[in-house]
Chain A
Amino acid sequence: MRTIVALLVATTLTAATLTTFRGRASEIPQADRRSGSTFMSPQTQAMQNDDTSNPGMLWVLDGNALWAKKTGIADRACMDCHGDARQSMRGVATKYPAFDEALARPVDLEQRVNLCRVNHQQASPLAYESRDLLALTALIGNQSRGLPIAPGADPRLAPFVAKGRELFMRRQGQLNLGCTNCHDDNWDKRLAGSAVTQAHPTGYPLYRLEWQGLGSLQRRLRNCMVGMRAQPYEADAPETVALELFLMSRAQGMPIETPAVRP
């Protein structure tokens, strides 16, 4: 509890400094864009880069087992339609969130897995942040490791990217901060001892040492929003997907690291 209070005080002070001295909201030049992993200590980088010390690989391992497991009324496994994930899922995660024809809006990877479960396996959707959903998205994300992020090619996504951008720029919460105030304007600074970073979602779902577990980009977004004392979006809210989509388009061309490790 004491840590939380101290952290809040620190956050308030820093936020006051941010709002007083840094009013601009400019985008990061292409040449200065960096993955969150470059802000980490060499030890944490080594942990991410070695598959036998990266704890995220435990979820990938689980994902492999789930991929082959028959489920639902249809009694089908992911593998029965998609075959070997190593081939069929290669590059898939680089294009998410992607436009869904039936829903006429973008869906993120978590929602895609659940749509597949409901429509094709006739199984119940997996809960957000459940071990199974994280395992499957980690497995799918892992197949795109090293490939450049390439979302938003579909012109129908344009209004959603614009919406996400607007949300990223908008000040909100009791501290009256927008995402941009930290992640565009002050990414080279520190917040209570931690690097602010540039908010490029290159490695989700990722293993956060603070969480002692794997978490999705949505969880990370909620984390940030609670930090600026704003009301986090609901798990299924269109705002969340719009923000995810904007963040991915902002990180266009950067290689996927899933499952990444972060402090």
Chain B
Amino acid sequence: MASALINVPVTAKRGDVIEIKTLISHVMETGFRHTMTGAVIPRNIVTDFSCRYNGVEVFRAELFSAFSANPFIAFFTTATESGTFEFRWSGDNGFIETASASITVA
């Protein structure tokens, strides 16, 4: 049951710098841990995150084993026009999660 929480301002003035906050549900298993019997617990993490603003990529991040569970990523961008932010997380074992949020720029 993957799920994401997104916080994008509903409205903004043209040229405003806005903060976007994202939170995704994920175990982020490092791949460095072992079970009681010594077997390695395979790595299972989110490896890529990107945000597109009306189709144009405005933010991208690569994630590694040191990230904690349920990664929280916040970043800033400039509000240029009304439209949609599309978020995409991808990772090990074919993990893909998408979310979107819209903004009205006056």
Contact = CB atoms under 8 A, between A and B. Distances in A.
Contacts of A57: 5, 23
Contact of B23 (A55, A62, A131): A55
A162 interface: no
Interface string A169-199: 0000000000000000000000000000000
B69 interface: yes
Given A58-B5, A212-B69, A52 B21 contact: yes
Contact of A52 (B5, B25, B68, B69): B5
A73 interface: no
Nearest to A132: B1
Interface residues of A, number: 14
A62 B1 contact: yes
Contacts of B100: none
A253 interface: no
Interface in B1-60: 1, 3, 5-7, 21, 23, 25, 28
Q: Which range contains the number of B residues in contact with the other chain?
A: 10 to 19
A57 B6 CA distance: 11
A213 interface: yes
A26 interface: no
A131 B5 CA distance: 18
A212 B5 contact: no
Interface in A190-215: 209, 212-213
A61 B70 contact: no
Contact of A62 (B3, B69, B72): B3
B27 to A, nearest CB: 8
A55 B72 contact: yes
A65 B5 contact: no
Contact of A51 (B1, B5, B69): B5
A53 interface: yes
B84 to A, nearest CB: 18
A52 B70 contact: no
Contacts of B69: 55, 212-213
A58 B21 contact: no
Contacts of A52: 5-7, 21, 23
A57 to B, nearest CB: 6
A53 B5 CA distance: 8
Interface in A1-60: 50-53, 55, 57-58
Contacts of B25: 55, 58, 61-62
Nearest to A61: B3
Contacts of A51: 5
Contacts of A58: 3, 5, 23, 25, 70
Interface of A: 50-53, 55, 57-58, 61-62, 65, 131, 209, 212-213
Given A51-B5, A53-B7, A213-B69, 12 more contacts: A50-B7, A50-B21, A52-B23, A53-B23, A53-B72, A53-B74, A58-B3, A58-B5, A58-B25, A58-B70, A131-B1, A212-B70
Interface of B: 1, 3, 5-7, 21, 23, 25, 28, 68-70, 72, 74
Cβ-closest 9 pairs across A and B: A52-B7, A212-B69, A58-B25, A55-B70, A61-B3, A52-B5, A62-B1, A52-B21, A58-B3
